[in-house]
Amino acid sequence: MTESSEWLIYRGAGEPHDGMSRLPPPPPWRDFSGRDADAEAGVEGDGSRDRRLGAHRHLAELHRPGAEELEMINAALYLRRPLLVTGSPGAGKTTLAHSVAYELGLGEVLRWSIVSRTALQDGLYDYDAIARLQDVQIAAQGGFGAAAGSPGAVEAIGSYIRLGPLGTALLPSDTPRVLLIDELDKSDIDLPNDLLNVLEEGEFEIPELQRVADRLPGGEAEVLTADGTKVRVRDGRVRCRAFPFVVLTSNGERDFPAPLMRRCIHLELDRPDHNRLATFVRAHLGDEAARAGDDLIARFLERSRSELLAADQLLNAIHLTDAAAPPSRERLADLLIQRLDRPR
């Protein structure tokens, strides 16, 4: 094998070999190896999630907002209004939410990632009616447990309800939770308008619980939250005491309706500079990788003046060129960092 092909795992030669034994560890954000160990220990989640949270915490520690960013964050805190953060990919929109949660001791950030099919209900709660019906039928046929219509069956209704990130953020507490509603511009056209009432009133109803509230002890049902804890909901209504710190992010792919805009504090983030990108790389890959990738960071910034690029692409390029050490480092980096605003 020539020196120029030493980094290749798959060679395309049609001959089996043991190249997989030379494959280096994955990047931290693509490492799923901790799942089995966590499952055996009875831990919900996985090791890769812990590592991603660790990177977010490190970014939060290192984050130093500019003057305008600082003022708009505090305006949203004072006014109890959602903060709509717009800017290019990698500008630091997500980091902002983690930085506020870290500095103010507001716990783990609740994240609601938006896709084109996302509806308001997905963020509030999920009711598994099919699972409940199946359990009642099995209990009735087997002669054990709570049969349909019995008090036990009603009391168990909370077992089939799980609050979403938005629903969890609106639970009553003395201090607010931080909720990140990520990439709202990818949503269906109706979702921004559907959010208006919930964000304005700070409460929502769970009809499945309201219908049976008079048959529940104290009108309360125990449900699961988005972060895996159990809470009691009274009379089928969730109503916040401290309005959550809500960060809505957008990459600028669409405009939002005026009613939503007037209910939000709007912050537009500039493109990240060299220092912010180096901090981003350092948080995910460490100091040594950040120093070794300094030239790629500079190339990324130069290209980003005329091309739409994402900081995730830079991470991929720095990790791969560091782990594999290919001979054509700059060429491979350019192939990985392809512009997002125009097909090649």
Q: Which long-range contacts (CB under 8 A, 24 or more apart) does 53-58 make?
A: 53/108, 55/28, 55/29, 55/283, 55/284, 56/94, 56/95, 56/98, 56/109, 56/283, 57/98, 57/102, 58/282, 58/283
Q: Return the pLDDT at 254.
A: 84
The owner of tokens 């209704």 is 157
Helices 274-285 and 47-62, packing angle to 10 deg: 150
114 token code pair: 């938006």
Determine the pLDDT at residue 188: 92
What's the farthest any 2 CA atoms get from each other in the chain? 77
Q: Can you give the pLDDT at residue 43?
A: 45
| DSSP 3-state of 204 | strand
Q: Give the pLDDT confidence score for residue 50 in this predicted structure.
A: 56
Q: Angle at Cα 252 formed by Cα 101 and Cα 200, nearest 5°?
A: 55
The one-digit pLDDT tens for each residue of the chain (344 residues) are: 544 567 888 888 888 988 898 888 888 878 877 655 444 444 444 454 555 556 677 777 777 888 899 999 999 999 999 999 998 777 788 889 999 999 999 999 999 999 999 999 999 999 998 988 888 788 777 655 444 444 446 778 899 999 999 999 999 999 999 999 999 999 999 999 999 999 999 999 999 999 999 999 999 999 999 999 999 999 999 999 999 999 999 988 788 999 999 999 999 988 888 988 888 888 888 889 889 899 999 999 999 888 888 888 999 999 998 888 777 888 889 899 998 876 55
d(CA 196, CA 263): 8
pLDDT of the residue at 147: 47
Find, among 204, 196, 202, 181, the residue nearest to 244 by Cα: 202
Residue 109: predicted pLDDT:
95
Half-sphere exposure of 181 (CA within 13 A, CB side): 30
For residue 222, what are the β-bridge partners? 232
149: left (phi over 0), alpha (psi -120 to 50) or beta: left
- Please report, in angstroms and rounded to a whole number, the separation of the first and last CA atoms in the chain: 32
What's the pLDDT score for residue 322? Answer: 85
Query: What was the pLDDT predicted at 139?
Result: 75
Cα separation of 303 and 298, whole Å? 9
Three-state DSSP class for 237?
A: strand
Q: Whose CA is closest to 322, among 285, 269, 275?
A: 285
- The pLDDT assigned to 142 comes to 67
